[in-house]
Amino acid sequence: MLGRFDIFYGIDLGTSNTVIYQQGRGIVLREPSVVAIRQDTGEIVAVGTEAQAMIGRTPESLEIVYPLTNGVIANFDMTSQMLQLFIRKIEGRRRWLRGSQVYISVPCGITSVQKRAVEETMVHKGAKKAVAVEEPLAAALGAGMPVDEPIGSLVLDIGGGTSQVAVLSLGGIVVSHTVRRAGMSIDKDIIEYVKKTYSLAIGDRTAEEIKMRIGSAVELPEELSIDIRGRDLIDGLPRAVRITSGEIRGLFDDFLSVIFEAIRYTLEHCPPELAGDVVERGMLLCGGGALLHGLDRRIQAETGVPVHIAAEPLDCTALGAGMMLDYRRERRMGTGLPGYRESAAAVEREDERLRQEA
Ligand SMILES: Nc1ncnc2c1ncn2[C@@H]1O[C@H](COP(=O)(O)OP(=O)(O)O)[C@@H](O)[C@H]1O
Ligand SMILES: [Mg+2]
């Protein structure tokens, strides 16, 4: 059934970015989860990086759609078409997904019906096997955490649409908590700030650039600045201003307090032994938000829990999904806590059987 020539994919279907890992090749695709469609026909004109470049520059006939918003699949059809186009990009002329096995990390907020629908879409399109996996589990595995052991591990994933805190143990999620404050909400705050302070309208991409270039959660030894352009709200003409890291630092406070509260909530709701493990061993910080300057130090100072940034914060979820293929752990993973009751021996027998078949 499972052939030697099968292709194994680990996919991270994120609200901001889609990342695809292919076994033996590494990360083969990293593109924004966005599509540009023609309004009259609904036809997709561009996906990913190409579509992103059109943001804020579209003629009226084109519309930019984020098929995954707020950590849920807002538009299922669009999501599956987007995935299809991404896979076509990496597979070239080969038939879509033929002979492949796909482990796909889906946003935490999606329903089990949607989760099944994602799996079915993959199989319908030619995959031999498709398994939807829990995002924090994939992220932790990809970052090299000991998710299989009876030790509590805390993962804080700050993405585009949502931030998620989860405590894992024995290959399952013990508690998790998701908030709708993440990268994109910070961008919105920056847009508001520039509007109020400078009477200047800027787009999402400019706001994101400000955040990535000069945003910081702690004071910097030397303040940074960036020159940006926007449209004057009074005379309607383009105008440039210089923004400094110091003046926008306060904008992160509200977001940060939501994150601190989410960490506190999660620790309060997990068994004390596991919370003890976390306090001792620290938490894993991943997702694009982990790259915000000084965020690790600020969280550590506020919560007293040591913070480790994942080596590849933007890729670890796809890597982890890809690793699940290897370990063939799906029977224990993705099903939450009861999974660990399956003995390790049974999993080994299954692995042996698959080896024999290969
Ligand atoms: N250097 C950076 N500093 C701050 N935020 C960043 C940085 N790089 C990326 N981000 C933010 O990370 C978010 C995307 O993270 P990602 O983990 O890919 O999200 P998702 O899993 O939701 O697709 C975006 O909001 C982006 O602006
Ligand atoms: Mg993510």
CATH number at residue 213: 3.90.640.10
Whether residue 176 sits in one domain with residue 303: yes
288 is in an annotated binding site: yes
Q: Is residue 334 part of a domain?
A: yes
Whether residue 248 sits in one domain with residue 172: no
Backbone angles phi, psi at 38, to 5 degrees: -80, 125
Whether residue 233 sits in one domain with residue 271: no
Whether residue 30 sits in one domain with residue 109: yes
The pLDDT of residue 242 is: 98
> Using CA atoms, how far apart are residues 93 and 88, in angstroms rounded to an integer?
7
Q: Is residue 83 part of a domain?
A: yes
Q: Is the CB of residue 84 less than 8 Å from the CB of residue 110?
A: no
Whether residue 296 sits in one domain with residue 346: no
Closest-lying ligand 1 atom to the alpha carbon of residue 287: 17
Q: Is residue 2 part of a domain?
A: no
The pLDDT of residue 163 is: 95
Closest C-alpha to ligand 1, atom 10: 288
The pLDDT of residue 328 is: 53
**pTM reported for the whole predicted model:** 0.88
- Residue 182 C-alpha to ligand 1 middle, in angstroms? 8
Q: Is residue 330 part of a domain?
A: yes
Q: Is the CB of residue 9 less than 8 Å from the CB of residue 102?
A: yes
Closest-lying ligand 1 atom to the alpha carbon of residue 14: 23
Whether residue 118 sits in one domain with residue 32: yes
Q: Is residue 21 part of a domain?
A: yes
- Residue 222 C-alpha to ligand 2 middle, in angstroms? 31
Closest-lying ligand 1 atom to the alpha carbon of residue 211: 4
126 is in an annotated binding site: no
The pLDDT of residue 167 is: 96
Closest ligand to the CA of 183: 1
Closest ligand to the CA of 16: 1
Encode pLDDT of 151-196 as tens digits.
Answer: 999 999 999 999 999 999 998 899 999 999 999 999 999 999 999 9
The pLDDT of residue 179 is: 94
Closest C-alpha to ligand 1, atom 11: 288
Q: Is residue 80 part of a domain?
A: yes
Q: Is residue 125 part of a domain?
A: yes
User: For a pocket test of ligand 1, which of 209, 211, 284, 315 has the largest count of ligand atoms closer than 8 A to its C-beta?
Assistant: 211
Whether residue 129 sits in one domain with residue 13: yes
Q: Give the residue numbers spanning the domain of 164.
A: 144-181+255-309
Closest ligand to the CA of 105: 2
140 is in an annotated binding site: no
- Residue 286 C-alpha to ligand 2 middle, in angstroms? 8
Whether residue 100 sits in one domain with residue 20: yes
Whether residue 295 sits in one domain with residue 328: no
Whether residue 132 sits in one domain with residue 50: yes
CATH code (residue 57):
3.30.420.40
Number of domains in the chain: 3
Whether residue 148 sits in one domain with residue 133: no
The pLDDT of residue 33 is: 96
Whether residue 168 sits in one domain with residue 51: no
Closest C-alpha to ligand 1, atom 5: 289
Residues 6+ apart with CB under 8 A from 73: 67, 79, 106, 107, 110, 114, 118
The pLDDT of residue 24 is: 86
Query: Which residue intervals of the chain are DSSP H helices?
Result: 48-52, 76-91, 112-124, 135-142, 183-198, 204-214, 245-249, 252-268, 272-281, 295-303, 316-327, 344-357
Task: Pull the structure tokens for residue 55.
Answer: 């943001």
- Residue 183 C-alpha to ligand 1 middle, in angstroms? 6
311 is in an annotated binding site: no
Q: Is residue 1 part of a domain?
A: no
> Using CA atoms, how far apart are residues 53 and 203, in angstroms rounded to an integer?
12
Closest-lying ligand 1 atom to the alpha carbon of residue 161: 22
One digit per residue, the tens of pLDDT, for the chain of length 358 reads: 455 677 889 999 999 999 999 988 899 999 999 999 999 898 999 999 999 998 878 888 899 999 988 777 888 889 989 998 998 898 876 666 778 899 999 877 678 888 898 899 888 888 899 999 989 999 999 999 988 889 999 999 999 999 999 999 998 899 999 999 999 999 999 999 999 999 999 999 999 999 999 999 999 999 999 999 999 999 999 999 999 999 999 999 999 999 999 999 999 999 999 999 999 999 999 999 999 999 999 999 999 999 999 999 999 999 999 988 765 544 444 443 333 333 344 445 555 555 565 5
- Residue 113 C-alpha to ligand 2 middle, in angstroms? 20
